[in-house]
Amino acid sequence: MSSSSTSTKPLVSTEWVAEHGKDKGIRVVEVDVDPSNYDKGHIEGAAGWNWRKDLQHQLVRDVASKEELATLLGKSGITPDTTIVLYGDNNNWFAAYAYWALKYYGHDKVQLVDGGRVKWEKEGRKYSTDVPSFPATTYHFQGAPREDIRAYKDQVQTKLGKAGLVDVRSPKEYSGELLAPENLPQEGAQRGGHIPTAVSIPWGTAVNTEDGTFKSNEELKEIYGGKGITPDREIIAYCRIGERSAHTWFVLRELLGYDDVRNYDGSWTEWGSSIRLPIEK
């Protein structure tokens, strides 16, 4: 298996997508925090995935199973040779989560559109409301999931004080004042606060406010390095349900090339509700 960092560069520009989004072997896919955005208008030819229905297991709290994701890829006309180009709203929160999930199961030909919908709209590019259909394929993932990019509650517990834990939520969530982002219902965990020893580096510090693109690698190294999150350490990122931390995972592993970065997708909704797990406020 080729490693992603060498074969497919992690980012493409909106210009590139406008020119090449419909090329043979490319499939553009939109994944939004608010799935209704796709129906209102999307990049022409893009498939739309619903993170709640398509990327989450419906009965068990987990990423969609390998079989479920393979079925979704087949419906989208994707083969193991297809390069999947992801973008979405909220600076690619769930597009980054989809990217992480695809890498987890072993589809390495995947890219993120720098800036996502924010940049596409800022540039005044057109959307389409046509929903494309693709000739279905039968997709199979080869090999076992890549557990080296995922963290579980028990692992996190054993790493307290050893691994670099990055809390990518807002400062008010980190302090325990809020349980969820300000604009969302305040639910999802029994306690507020953060995992002991975690540093607060909100996901948004990695992007430029004006167009949602990622900051330069030099700036990013300074932001994370300044809080002790350096490439020589094992790093675990978490948020509330795992999508904002997938965005930070993408920055550290795919853009900066840190070797050992995991996304703890159980995140605060698991940790903050678990019996006897330590919390700091």
What residues are labeled active site?
A: 239
Sign of CA dihedral 141, 144, 148, 152: positive
Whole-number Å distance between alpha carbons of 199 and 104: 25
Whole-number Å distance between alpha carbons of 198 and 280: 9
State the number of CA atoms in the 13 A half-sphere of 236 facing the CB.
27
**Residue 202, Cβ neighbours under 10 Å: how many?**
17
Q: 264 by DSSP, 3-state: which?
A: strand
String of DSSP letters for 101-157:
HHHHHT---EEEETTHHHHHHHTT---B--------------S---GGGEE-HHHHH
**Residue 143, Cβ neighbours under 10 Å: how many?**
8
